[in-house]
Structure 1
Amino acid sequence: MTLILPATLADALWAHAAREAPRECVGVLGGRQTGDLAQVTALYPLGNISARPEHEYLADPGHLLRALRAMTADGQTLVALYHSHPRGPSWPSPTDTRLASYPVPYLIADLRRRELRAFRLPACQPVPIELE
């Protein structure tokens, strides 16, 4: 699978991560998918309601529901989720893999290295995917 993230939306993702640091940010990406190609067309920042936001994320369910409704209204689907690791690394943590529940790519923004990577997280086994 390949996920195409336009530069303007990548910049918005990095800006969200920087605003939230040292807390982890979280958000969803809407767009269109055809076969193994997903094109991101919108970014929806969400609130992180984790009790330990410096170490993990938990998306605010109300914010998530509103974002999913907005996607549907705009003819988009959920193509990816994202969150930040303010101190790195750009690899999913055990908590990230354990709590992954959507069958879409998960993007991780490593603020320390300024590196953005994408993974599928099936059965707690991270699988890197191509991010353009």
Structure 2
Amino acid sequence: MPLHLPRHLETALWEHVQREVPCECVGVIGAQGAALRALYPLRNIARDPAHRYLADPASLLRALRAMEQEGLTLAAIYHSHPHGRARPSRSDLDLAEYRVPYLIADVERHDLRAYLLPQGEEVELTIDERGTDFS
């Protein structure tokens, strides 16, 4: 099933990516049904944040509670690769915990892709210019 990311959320995601360079960023996206509605940047607490990400549990919990209050559900997780391609790394595959698409942003090539992890299957990702609900 394709993932339709509204342009304003894509813009917010890339702004978060740029704020964190040279480190990896991490965040989650909430949806109402199939419509992606909100982006929640999280704090990366990995020991080597330039090459790994680990979402701060407290900021993840705050984001999940905010989604619940707004009537949203967890729809996707995103993170960046400042020094690598928009493909899952070994640690991305090993640490995948949620059954939602994982978006990976390649900072150098400005490439954004989505995958189901830990399988590594790519998910079709489209940028919705209008912010239309495709559900």
Match of 1:107 in 2: 103
Report % sequence identity: 57
The residue number in structure 2 matching 1:74 is 70
The within-5 A match list for 1:107-126 is 107-121=103-117, 124-126=118-120
Give the whole-Å Cα distance in 1 for the aligned partners of 2:16 and 2:98.
21
For structure 1, the 5+ residue unaligned runs are none
Q: For residues 1-132 of structure 1, what are the structure 2 equivalents within 5 Å?
A: 1-33=1-33, 38-121=34-117, 124-132=118-126
* Distance of 2:60 and 2:83 partners within structure 1: 25
Give the letter aligned to residue 64 of structure 1.
Answer: L
* Higher RCO (C-alpha 8 Å, min separation 6): 2
TM-score, scaled to structure 1: 0.93
TM-score (norm 2): 0.91
1:88 maps to amino acid: G
Residue correspondences, number? 126
Query: In the TM superposition, what is the alpha-carbon distance from 1:88 to its structure 2 partner?
Result: 1.9
SS at match of 1:16: helix
Equivalents in 2 of 1:30, 1:115: separation in Å? 21
Letter in 1 for 2:22: P
Could you tell me how far 1:3 is from its partner in structure 2?
Answer: 1.2
Distance 2:88 2:61 in 1: 24
Secondary structure of the corresponding residue to residue 115 of structure 2? strand
Aligned equivalents of 2:94, 2:106: Cα separation in 1: 19
RMSD (Å) for aligned C-alpha atoms: 0.8
